[in-house]
Amino acid sequence: MKTIYKFAGLVMLLILSSVSAQAGKPGGTLSFLVQPEPPTLASYVSTSGPIGLVMPKVYEGLFDYDNDGKMIPILAESFDMSADGKTVKFNLRKGVEWHDGKPFTSADVKFTIMEVLKKVHPRGPNSFREVTNIETPDAHTAIFKLKKPAPYMMRSFSAYESPIVPKHLLEGKDVKSAPLANKPVGTGPFKFVEWKKGQYIRLDKNKDYWQKGLPHLDRIVGRFIPDASTRTAAMENGEVLYVAYNAIPNIDAVRLKERDDIDVTTEGYSMINPMALIEFNTKEGPFVDPAIRRAISVAIDRRFMIDTIFFGYGKPATSALSSNFKATNLHAEMPNYPEKGDKAAANAILDKAGYKRDGNGVRLKAVLDLIPYGEDWRRAGEYLKQALGDIGIQLELRYEDVPTWLKRVYHRYDFQMNVNYFYQLPDPVLGVHRHYGTDQIRKGTHFVNSSRYSNPKLDALLDSGAGEPDAAKRTAAYKEIQQILADDMPVVNLFELEFLVVYNTKLKGAYGSAMGAYGSFREAYLDD
């Protein structure tokens, strides 16, 4: 089937890939590393990385995406888009059952999008911002009605990004605290069996999976190993066969790559587009002044962080947008992003703003919270402490477990500056807008505008940039967006991350999805 739509002056031809079971050896158990332990399994509420490692094996989206960006039909077999782009008809797969035996229908799709993702998901309000209603004329048809064309929406239907959930188990319940949050029921190739806190999550083969012949594996076990050296040892001795998102420090990954039975790849992250960054509390504390935030950005040696801490895997940030958006002419290099840092310039900014040093050379003190996702981030914190100390900003580092960190940053706003990373995804509307839009100040929702930055002019530009069909006008809007953010700097982008996957070479078939470790593993198998 062909679907043709126009966006940003381009006519794009999308041919939906067919789904066919890949040959693979049946049976076996795949143990992989989940670091750190997830705070919940409610992937429809939180996009936390550890949740993403587990739940796309249980829940499915309407589509998946291959490494070339082509759409792979999953719960939707095909779609039709109207000429004006404001009606999208999805033809849903028949014969699909939830893990409890109930049939999957269009009612589940409507409920998921309208009552869950648009309301409580971190990115759903942007992904589906233009969707006003979903019509369900029959059990296998879902017709999306949009206020304006939203081609970016078609890149957001993966299981990680937009998991379809069972209406019959969530309707009428508090979505965030319903039993489904920790005992998930999906349509995916693996069924949830057990979560043994502090040890593992077990998923078993869905013997009634809609695609015959899949999955190949009998079981998947996601293991939690807090200590970094123990994680590396588990990979070395074969206790785990797959490790993603730098859960094994890069210094160890580079060493393990020399073994015959272990390999390392950066494949599988093509739709993630990750950016390491610093978030500031712009409403209270020392960083309400944009001058301080600019000075911090100017002082940081991004090249040093990449080469020394992440062993060359990454590119220095040059704007609020990833350089990957150069392909669509949306990225523009901005001031206040020197690759190797300029401490003299940073000191001059602070001097001009009136921040004088005391007898110990300290201009101000602050607490830096660090994302609790591995040792590399601890080392990044140590570097920032040293670098900012050189310009008179004395940092105290704080490192907490995932639930505590999430509550501090996104529920209580009880932080001053926070090292984190965000996915910018295939279009700025999906991944970037949630940092900066006033409508993205959503207390209790993870990975949105925790800085509480609000700028009416920027809001208007974000809105116009989202739906602008003219390529030149869209480029102009995003250039102005980047200029405003380079001056106000509510978020300091550090570098574009290149995540590593470390895997045992006997694991096959786990690398076909652009979602990588956030994929289903339905075609994965063990070749002894």
Mean pLDDT of 443-447: 95
In whole angstroms, give the CA distance from residue 148 to residue 145.
9
Mean of the per-residue pLDDT values for the chain? Answer: 94
Per-residue confidence (pLDDT) for residue 269, from 0 to 100: 87
Residue ranges of the domains in the chain?
A: 274-497
Task: Write the CB contacts of 459 (distance below 8 Å, at least 6 apart in sequence).
Answer: 437, 438, 439
User: Is pLDDT larger for residue 243 or for residue 469?
Assistant: 243
Angle of CA points 484, 322, 292, to nearest 5°: 45
Q: Tell me: the pLDDT tens digits for 192-207?
A: 999 999 999 999 999 9
In whole angstroms, give the CA distance from residue 131 to residue 112.
12
Per-residue confidence (pLDDT) for residue 511, from 0 to 100: 79
Mean pLDDT of 397-423: 97
Q: Is the pLDDT of residue 270 over 90?
A: no
DSSP symbols for 209-243: -SSTT----SEEEEE----HHHHHHHHHTTS-SEE
- What letter does residue 102 receive in the DSSP assignment? P
Task: Write the CB contacts of 23 (distance below 8 Å, at least 6 apart in sequence).
Answer: none
Q: Is the pLDDT of residue 258 over 60?
A: yes
Q: Is the pLDDT of residue 10 over 50?
A: no
Q: Quote the radius of gyration of the chain (alpha carbons, Å).
A: 23
Is the backbone peptide bond immediately before 215 cis, with ω within 30 degrees of 0? yes
Domain 274-497, CATH homologous superfamily name and number: Dipeptide-binding Protein; Domain 3 (3.10.105.10)
Q: Is the pLDDT of residue 233 over 90?
A: yes
- What letter does residue 103 receive in the DSSP assignment? B
**Phi and psi at residue 12, in whole multiples of 5°?**
-110, 125
How many Cα atoms within 13 Å fall on the side-chain side of residue 333? 4
Q: Is the pLDDT of residue 394 over 70?
A: yes
Q: Is the pLDDT of residue 5 over 50?
A: no
Is residue 59 within 8 A of residue 164, CB to CB? The reply is yes
Alpha helices in 80-202 (DSSP H): 106-111, 118-120, 124-127, 167-170
Confidence of residue 357 (pLDDT cuts 50, 70, 90): very high
In whole angstroms, give the CA distance from residue 459 to residue 390.
35
Q: What percent of the chain has pLDDT over 70?
A: 96
Minimum mean pLDDT among 51-60, 329-338, 381-390, 465-474: which range?
A: 465-474
In whole angstroms, give the CA distance from residue 197 to residue 176.
19
Confidence of residue 16 (pLDDT cuts 50, 70, 90): very low
Confidence of residue 17 (pLDDT cuts 50, 70, 90): very low
Q: pTM of the full predicted structure?
A: 0.90
Q: Is the pLDDT of residue 165 over 50?
A: yes
- What letter does residue 66 receive in the DSSP assignment? B
In whole angstroms, give the CA distance from residue 513 to residue 524.
11
Q: Is the pLDDT of residue 108 over 60?
A: yes
**Phi and psi at residue 131, in whole multiples of 5°?**
-80, 120
In whole angstroms, give the CA distance from residue 149 to residue 523.
34
How many Cα atoms within 13 Å fall on the side-chain side of residue 511? 17
Mean pLDDT of 42-70: 95
Task: Write the CB contacts of 382 (distance below 8 Å, at least 6 apart in sequence).
Answer: 397
In whole angstroms, give the CA distance from residue 520 to residue 415.
35
- CB atoms < 10 A from the CB of 470, how many? 11
- Residue at token pair 């890939």: 17
Per-residue confidence (pLDDT) for residue 469, from 0 to 100: 86
In whole angstroms, give the CA distance from residue 214 to residue 284.
53
Q: What percent of the chain has pLDDT over 90?
A: 90
How many Cα atoms within 13 Å fall on the side-chain side of residue 358? 8
Identity at 90, one-letter amino acid code: F
Mean pLDDT of 492-503: 95
Q: Tell me: the pLDDT tens digits for 57-77?
A: 999 999 999 888 899 999 999
Per-residue confidence (pLDDT) for residue 22, from 0 to 100: 59
In whole angstroms, give the CA distance from residue 217 to residue 418.
39
Is residue 234 within 8 A of residue 247, CB to CB? The reply is no
Spell 319-353 as b/e; 16+ CB within 10 A means b: bbbbbbbeebbbbbebebbbbebbbeebbebbeee
Mean pLDDT of 94-102: 98
Task: Write the CB contacts of 434 (distance below 8 Å, at least 6 apart in sequence).
Answer: 122, 123, 126, 422, 440, 447, 448, 449
Task: Give the rounded distance of the alpha carbon of 428 from its chain centre.
Answer: 13
Per-residue confidence (pLDDT) for residue 513, from 0 to 100: 85
In whole angstroms, give the CA distance from residue 406 to residue 447.
9
Task: Write the CB contacts of 400 (distance below 8 Å, at least 6 apart in sequence).
Answer: 369, 372, 408
In whole angstroms, give the CA distance from residue 68 to residue 52.
21
Per-residue confidence (pLDDT) for residue 1, from 0 to 100: 35
List the beta strands (DSSP E) in 34-127: 63-65, 71-73, 76-81, 87-92
SS3 of 237-283: CCCCCEECCCCCCHHHHHHHCCCCCEEEECCCCCCCCEEEEEEECCC
